[in-house]
Amino acid sequence: MNKTTKSLLLGVISVKIVVILLVTSIPVNGNTLVPNDSELVKNTTTLINVSTEHKVDSVLALMTIDEKIGQLVQYSGKWNATGPSTSKRDQYKHDKLKKGEVGSMLNIASVASIRETQRIVMENSRLKIPLIFAYDVIHGYKTIFPIPLGESASWDLGIIEKSAAIAAKEAAASGLNWTFAPMIDVSRDARWGRIMEGSGEDTYLTTKIGVARINGFQGNDLSAAHTIAACAKHFVGYGFAEGGRDYNTVNIGEFELHNTILPPFKAASEVGVATFMNAFNDIDGIPATGHKYLQRDLLKKDWNWPGLMVSDWGSIGEMIAHGYARDLEHASEIAINAGSDMDMESYAYEASLKTLVEKGKVSTAILDDAVRRVLRLKFQLGLFDDPYKYCDEEREKADVYSKENLEIARDVAKKSIVLLKNDNQILPLSKKIKSIAVIGPLADDKDTPLGNWRARADYNSAVSLLEGVKHAVSKSTAIYYEKGIELTIPIVKPGENQFARPLEFNTTDSSGIEKAVELAKKVEVVLLAIGEDAYQTGEGRSQVDIGFKGLQLELLEAIQKVNKNIVIVLMNGRPMDLSRASEVAPTILECWHLGSESGNAIADVIFGDYNPSGKLPVSFPHHVGQEPLYYNQKNTGRPYGSTQVTYSSYRDAPRSALYPFGHGLSYTTFSYDNFKLSTTEINASEHIEVSVNVTNAGKRNGEEVVQLYIRDLVGSLVRPIKELKGFKKLMIKAGETKTVTFKINAETLQFYTANKKWEVEPGAFEVWVGGSSLAELKQSFSVVE
């Protein structure tokens, strides 16, 4: 055994010995597990492992105040950990690591770098408390899956969980323990850049998908080597930023908060998500990072959640810019007392907490509660047993970007595609078609399909549309390609930071359109790849114009004049204004940014190897002026649809969506009939069985997403005109009929009422079933006292 290996082993053993000795002497009771402080979380012994709590308290008892504060510090480590420091800031971080005064690192990826960074702590610090390593693994690590909004269009909870599990497996194999995902902000404004990172406009769908992703990341055992800790973000209201402008203020009422925004987070807490992240925005004047009611009172106390709350990047310090804190010390005082446990890159806690404790402005109980949450997670991950358990170079080689992972990515991608329009049944194409033109700025783009937040994906590593088409067709098919136009000037350079600069769009150089038009004249079908660059959506990428940038519409209209058989292959990260494109093109295939296997997955759908089954998780507008747009609006006193001039609508555009929530076509046709309720009257303790027959009336096997919507006609609060309350995705063979059933009970019908509690109010209800939010089959029932 060499000297280095021996010292590492002794470091691990020393922590184990300390823990074992102290476990035998410290009793576990309500006062030990949780600080005896009325502001802190209630006794959580029913939610957490008592043995782990013994160990947490044992380590905590040994710690100095500087070591405690250090566990609440998270640094971004962008240096080469295996080489010398390159700046004073890097050297400062190294020194803090050696002292054991850092709890977590983010943005370090690879076994080699993580092992070396962990070694600095384990060989030099007094208590040898291991670091936890975090990364933004949003829709894949090296193997990239569809952006979350696109993946949500699958409405397939099983494959969503599977994609998160693959992402976790790859990240864990590269040494990571923690991801800042899933984002479960309900998002109704297409202008908001981060709409691509969530599950869309609906609370119920967002809740179900959020739980699936958490289960995928964390599995059944957080200590398993292939799982990582998930993070429910952003707590809370971030998706309701005013005007769709990132980081902006949020103005929502108490009842909207509880009924629309909080349910996904409540569900996340109930399924045991390991961490939460607070939000950049203020809510009615209080920054989320310093919001005591939300973090400490509601989440940690009322919901009894024992996990770790981490700030968003620099959000503690940003309370100064908000005008809510005088300085960094004041910001630290507000944040820690409000329940923000770990400071990500504000350098606030390390500078101020010790002074605040000494002044009595932060209690020891508050400090210890935050530290416990950090230590608890490290024990749950198994890092105290083996700080290097995630550092296996052989596993990194075998588990990352494997053939198997890519096959799963292709499956997820094809199931995320939505057929928006298919006039004249142009799709699917025959693989023996004589000629196809693949045209557009995104047609041979191997980078845009990776989307934003692409973790450790290699630049230009996606399968392009052109490649996918070439792989799919017969040798007798002639494939032609023209770019037509450049979309951006310049394109983000390989390896460039995603926040480096805004994109510039080509609005003047149309010289390539003529070649594209000449090509379109001589082929049977044109596949036109247009939409958005990968960096048009994501953090800091809000836009007032959600239409086609640059010269894309000019290209579309020029081609349409010479060839009517156009299939728009739409690649985008947000709902777009497709009004003109929908008038011009007979077929539109919503392909989002589909990830590593994008081109192959699109070809699977275009040529009929897979019958599209995706449904929109967001509404697509006729015009950006409709935003924020969502299906479950409230009726108002002058409902839309009135024949009078003075009703709640626009004079120059519809109020409804161009393509509504839940919409998605298939290569077959599904019909619904025999819609039944088992009873039309129940009390709050009873339930109704809903059944409907769904028939595949076409000639192809296909999957349908059967959707259940409910309206509470009269409530103590104004209720939405329709709310998704159930869905089932199922395969139905050509000519086959399946009976689909749902159960309506108190959980289905309850809401946060004017009494400020979740309950079912007696009264009349309506229920619909169908293939979108425009479902027409309707029944009525009532709830009696």
In this prediction, residues 3-10 reach a mean pLDDT of 42
pLDDT at 134 > cutoff 90 = yes
Beta bridge partners, 283, equal 250, 286
Least confident of 113-122, 302-311, 372-381, 636-645: 636-645
SS3 465: helix
Q: Which two tokens stand for residue 629?
A: 């747009």
In this prediction, residues 120-132 reach a mean pLDDT of 98
Least confident of 15-24, 97-106, 199-208: 15-24
Residue 5 has what pLDDT? Answer: 42
Binning pLDDT at 50, 70 and 90, where does residue 35 land? very low
pLDDT digits (tens, 9 = 90+) for 181-222: 999 999 999 999 999 999 999 999 999 999 999 999 999 999
Residue 82 has what pLDDT? Answer: 45
Q: pLDDT > 70: what percent of the chain?
A: 91
pLDDT at 30 > cutoff 50 = no
Question: 585 burial class (0-12, 13-18, 19+ CB within 10 angstroms)?
Answer: buried
pLDDT at 639 > cutoff 80 = yes
Q: At what angle do helices 349-359 and 364-380 cross, to 10 degrees?
A: 140
Position with higher pLDDT, 308 vs 637: 308
Residue 79 has what pLDDT? Answer: 53
Q: Which H or E run contains 742?
A: strand 737-744
Residue 503 has what pLDDT? Answer: 84
pLDDT digits (tens, 9 = 90+) for 748-774: 999 999 999 999 999 999 999 999 999
Residue 86 has what pLDDT? Answer: 59
Residue 675 has what pLDDT? Answer: 98
Residue 643 has what pLDDT? Answer: 66
Q: Which two tokens stand for residue 506?
A: 């080509």
Beta bridge partners, 104, equal 74, 132
Q: Which two tokens stand for residue 338?
A: 């409000």
In this prediction, residues 566-587 reach a mean pLDDT of 98
Biggest CA–CA distance in the chain, Å, is: 87
Catalytic residue among 185, 246, 312, 369: 312
Residue 6 has what pLDDT? Answer: 42
User: What single letter denotes the amino acid at residue 748?
Assistant: T
Q: pLDDT > 90: what percent of the chain?
A: 87
Average confidence score pLDDT of the chain: 92
Least confident of 30-34, 163-167, 638-642, 776-780: 30-34
312 is catalytic: yes
pLDDT digits (tens, 9 = 90+) for 226-241: 999 999 999 999 999 9
| Of 547, 528, 569, 538, nearest in space to 451 by CA | 538
pLDDT at 309 > cutoff 50 = yes
pLDDT digits (tens, 9 = 90+) for 40-82: 433 333 357 899 999 999 999 999 999 999 999 999 986 555 4
Q: Which two tokens stand for residue 622?
A: 């006729």
Domains and CATH numbers, the chain: 3-129+230-380 (3.20.20.300), 409-621 (3.40.50.1700), 670-784 (2.60.40.10)
In this prediction, residues 127-132 reach a mean pLDDT of 98
